[in-house]
């Protein structure tokens, strides 16, 4: 009889221990449930009313970014800028000006992502009228001097215009290629 009591007592202890582990594990899951949107990465540096100048190895400016508020993150080598005003410099050509609501600049990889009311002002020669490009998002690949978007694009120069969806542009050659639903009007 004592053998049965002993085994029954051991069985109760095992069941109690098992349910305790399940209860604690379930409670821990509820406590540790973290929504990734709640995690805020802190910037390494925060700047107000700043101008960032990127230069090549010879000391020539590649581009400048002016912003009322900028954050720098060392770990992923990114600068986030509110209302960036960017000038992209090209050899022996007028600079290309780009403004938007928000910019993310991967300065080591020399890539820029601009979002929200993106406006690009391009001139091939100083005497030429501005070509104005509007879109909601654009990627600038600085090494290749390319501007790319998958979204709606509207380009205007004088009384001529071109619009469509998706674009690839060579900033050195001044070529703008629209991919889909392209429409436009050319006026002399």
DSSP output for 147-178: EEEEEEEEEEETTEEEEEEEEEEETTTTEEEE
> What are the beta bridge partners of residue 185?
161
pLDDT for position 113: 94
d(C-alpha 5, C-alpha 8), whole Å: 5
Separation of first and last alpha carbons in the chain? 109
Strand positions, DSSP E, the chain: 45-55, 61-73, 78-82, 85-90, 93-99, 102-106, 111-122, 131-141, 146-157, 160-170, 175-185
Residue segments in the chain with a per-residue pLDDT below the cut of 70: 1-3, 5-6, 21-41
> What are the beta bridge partners of residue 96?
88
pLDDT for position 117: 95
Q: Which two tokens stand for residue 160?
A: 């001529």
pLDDT for position 87: 92
pLDDT for position 9: 73
Query: What are the backbone dihedrals phi and psi of residue 110, each rounded to the nearest 5 degrees, phi first?
Result: 55, 50
Quick one: which of 122, 119, 123, 155 has its CA closest to 138?
A: 119
pLDDT for position 32: 53
| Residue with the two structure tokens 């290629």 | 177
């Amino acid at each position: 009889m004592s053998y049965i009591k002993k085994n029954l007592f051991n069985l109760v202890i095992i069941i109690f221990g098992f349910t305790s582990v399940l209860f604690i594990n379930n409670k821990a899951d509820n406590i540790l449930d973290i929504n990734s949107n709640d995690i805020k990465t802190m910037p390494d540096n925060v700047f107000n009313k700043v101008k960032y100048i990127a230069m090549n190895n010879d000391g020539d400016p590649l581009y400048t970014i002016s912003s009322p508020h900028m954050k720098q993150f060392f770990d992923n080598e990114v600068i986030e800028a509110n209302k960036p005003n960017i000038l992209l410099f090209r050899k022996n050509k007028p600079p290309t000006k780009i403004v938007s609501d928000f910019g993310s600049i991967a300065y080591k990889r020399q890539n820029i992502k601009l979002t929200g009311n993106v406006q690009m002002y391009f001139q091939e020669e100083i005497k030429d009228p501005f070509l104005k490009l509007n879109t909601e998002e654009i990627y600038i690949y600085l090494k290749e001097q390319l501007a790319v978007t998958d979204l709606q694009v509207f380009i205007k120069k004088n009384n001529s215009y071109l619009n469509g969806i998706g674009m690839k542009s060579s900033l050195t050659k001044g070529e703008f290629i629209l991919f889909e639903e392209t429409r436009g009007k050319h006026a002399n």
